[in-house]
Chain A
Amino acid sequence: MRLLKNIVTLTMLLMMWASNLLPAQGVLQTKQVLVPAGSFHAVLPEVAGEPIQVDSFYMNETVVTNEQFAEFLKTNPSWRRSEIPPVFTNKGYLREWKSDLEPNYEDVGTNRPVTRVSWFAANAYCDAQGGRLPTLNEWEYSAQLLGITDKAAMDKFSSSLISWYSGIDAQNLAEVGTTGIVTTKGVKDQFGLVMEWVEDFKPIIADELSLDCGTVGRMNTLNSLYNYAASIRYITRMSFNPKITTGMVGFRCAYDKSVDTFQNEHGETL
């Protein structure tokens, strides 16, 4: 009897704890990875030669899936395909879904990245999770933490990256977490799956760069193949506007603090 009572109490406590976490994390939770502070050389340096400093932050291990986005739409009806106003997207928004809340799993499979979402929708999704989109510098900094030290191996990787950028197959996206490309901190698929929205995808410098053939040449490619691939990525992003919806762009969220840390600091959840 006492055992049963204990089980009941424990279950209640657990459920209360879980119910406190639910709104922030949702049912289909993605692991948050700590990306420690550091610096990197971007292809668009502020001051030539000086690395860009990045503070520590958390980022989702994988990009947001159709399933997760459908969950978000259940509680945020104004972002559904039939409700979203044209100021936030164009007509292609979630075009391939069967209905407002049903992704087309039969054709695309499960656990696939959500694509055809505008920047506004991606921003709203992350906001609803207690997070935000990663900044351009955060995303780029995390992406280059690949731990490849051998130049030949890095060049080989960068070459495959360049060919991937030139032909992302939006119709046949793999499951999230399956590219095998993982940073040393544990962030998966920053390459090889989809391109990703970042908070400030059009950096201020974009005004001064015209998107012509000479642009790549004027970027700071430092004779590195990786930076050449990076400049293709920067230029592609700069050509976006926040309303576009393409099959090759998905997103993941970032957080200033992990949800766990946040819960502990704001304590007394029980």
Chain B
Amino acid sequence: MKSLRVYSFCLIICVLFSQNIWAQHEHHEPALKASVVADHSLYHLKSSFTNHREETIKFADFKGKPVIVVMFYGNCTQVCPILIKDTWRLYEAVDESVREQVHVLAISFDTENDSPEVLKEYAEYEQLDIPGWHFLTGKNTDIRSVAMMLGVKYQQQSDGNFAHSNLVTVLDKKGEISTRVEGLNQPMSEAAKVIQQIISEPIQ
């Protein structure tokens, strides 16, 4: 009888133990209330990404600041340098006095090759290892989610290269899409004006 009681006790402990493990699976941080985050904000994406400085980044970290987002991959030698240069042109078109408020997220969809170290080299090579610029990697499922939210398509080809959309997106202070520039070598003055406008708006 006593053994049976010990046995039951063990069972209970085991169950508690397993539930505890289960609990670790949930998010511990208090979830951002839907009323706080705008309906169509990218801040709803709670996933973490890692930048080329090995810092952990979430979209919601940029609350109150305009963000330029571009998706690319490091081994892309034909189109991506132009796409990154386009992003730089947009960044540079913002008044120098307020430019430091703008953050740039260059997100790689080549999760296999573009580690933070590789992205660091990339940033240095492109002379873009500057404050406010984040070359990001993350989990495949998260990167794909960002792409779906932005409307960026990409598909890995048999040779390892990616077919992808060329899109530069501006997020406002609430993380919602403000404007998008589609295609390469596009004029950036309109999008820069949108960023200036976002900066001049009061933070809600």
Contact A203 B17 (CB under 8 A): no
> By the criterion CB–CB under 8 Å, are B155 and A203 in contact?
yes
| Distance in angstroms between the alpha carbons of A207 and B165 in the assembled complex | 9
- A88: which B residues are within 8 A, CB to CB? 44
| CB–CB A123/B141 < 8 A | yes
8 Å CB contact of B22 from A15, A75, A83, A207: A75
Q: Is A120 an interface residue (CB 8 A)?
A: yes
Q: Is the CB of A123 within 8 A of B22?
A: no
Which of the residues B26, B39, B145 comes within 8 Å of A86, measured between beta carbons? B39
Contact B3 A12 (CB under 8 A): no
- Taking the complex as formed, is B21 at the interface, i.e. its CB lies under 8 A from any CB of chain A? yes
Interface of chain B residues 124 through 179 with chain A (CB within 8 A): 139-142, 144-145, 148-149, 153-155, 157-158, 163-165
Q: How far is the CA of A85 from the CA of B31 in the complex (A)?
A: 12
- In the complex, chain B residues 20-72 whose Cβ is within 8 Å of any chain A Cβ: 21-22, 24-27, 31, 34, 37, 39-42, 44, 46
Q: Taking each of A4, A18, A87, which has the highest tally of chain B beta carbons within 10 Å of its own beta carbon?
A: A87
Indicate if the CB atoms of B25 and A200 lie closer than 8 Å: no
User: Which among B15, B24, B44 has the highest number of chain A CB atoms within 10 Å?
Assistant: B44
A8 to chain B, nearest CB (A): 5
**Could you say which residues of chain B place their CB within 8 Å of the CB of A46?**
157-158
Q: Does A132 contact B (CB under 8 A)?
A: yes
- By the criterion CB–CB under 8 Å, are A120 and B14 in contact? no
**Could you tell me the distance between the alpha carbons of A131 and B94 in the complex, rounded to whole angstroms?**
41
Chain B residues contacting A22 (CB-CB under 8 Å) are 18, 21-22
Known: A8-B7, A11-B11. A204 touches B41 (CB 8 A): no
Residue contact B41 to A87, C-beta cutoff 8 Å: yes
Q: Does B6 contact A (CB under 8 A)?
A: yes
The answer to whether A203 and B153 touch across the interface, beta carbons within 8 angstroms, is yes
Q: How far is the CA of A12 from the CA of B17 in the complex (A)?
A: 11
Tell yes or no: A52 within 8 A of B by CB: yes
CB closest residue in chain A, given B46: A78
Contact of A86 with B10 at beta-carbon distance under 8 Å, contacts A123-B145, A132-B140, A204-B154 already known? no
What's the least CB distance linking B168 to chain A, in Å? 17
Q: Which residues of A contact B46 (CB under 8 A)?
A: 78
Main secondary structure of the interface of A (DSSP, over half): helix
A234 an interface residue at 8 Å Cβ cutoff? no
- Distance (Å) between the CB of B51 and the closest chain A CB? 21
Q: In chain A, what residue has the closest Cβ to B20?
A: A19
Residue of B nearest to A18 (CB): B18
A23–B148 touching, CB < 8 Å: no
B44 near A87: Cβ-Cβ < 8 Å: yes
Binary per-residue interface labels of chain A (60-79) against chain B in the complex, 1 for a CB within 8 Å, 0 otherwise = 00000000000000011110
**B155 CB → nearest A CB, Å:** 5
Q: Are A85 and B155 in contact, with the CB atoms below 8 A?
A: no
- Binary per-residue interface labels of chain B (82-115) against chain A in the complex, 1 for a CB within 8 Å, 0 otherwise: 0000000000000000000000000000000000
Chain B residues near A126 (CB-CB < 8 A): 141
Q: Does A16 reach chain B (CB closer than 8 Å)?
A: yes
Task: Find the residue from B15, B22, B46, B139 having the highest chain A CB count within 10 A.
Answer: B22
Instruction: Please name the residue on chain A nearest to B16 by beta carbon.
Output: A19
Q: A1-B3, A75-B26, A127-B141 are in contact. Are A206 and B153 (CB under 8 A)?
A: yes
A78→B31 contact, CB < 8 A: yes
Could you list some 23 contacts between A and B, CB below 8 A?
A: A1-B3, A8-B10, A12-B14, A15-B15, A16-B14, A19-B17, A19-B21, A46-B157, A75-B22, A75-B25, A83-B34, A85-B40, A86-B40, A87-B39, A87-B41, A120-B145, A123-B141, A124-B141, A127-B142, A200-B154, A202-B153, A204-B154, A204-B165
4 closest A-B pairs (Cβ-Cβ)? A19-B18, A15-B14, A204-B163, A242-B148
Chain B residues at the A interface, C-beta cutoff of 8 Å: 3-4, 6-7, 10-11, 14-15, 17-18, 21-22, 24-27, 31, 34, 37, 39-42, 44, 46, 139-142, 144-145, 148-149, 153-155, 157-158, 163-165
- Known pairs A16-B14, A23-B21, A127-B141. 7 more at Cβ < 8 A? A15-B15, A16-B17, A18-B18, A19-B17, A22-B22, A85-B39, A120-B145
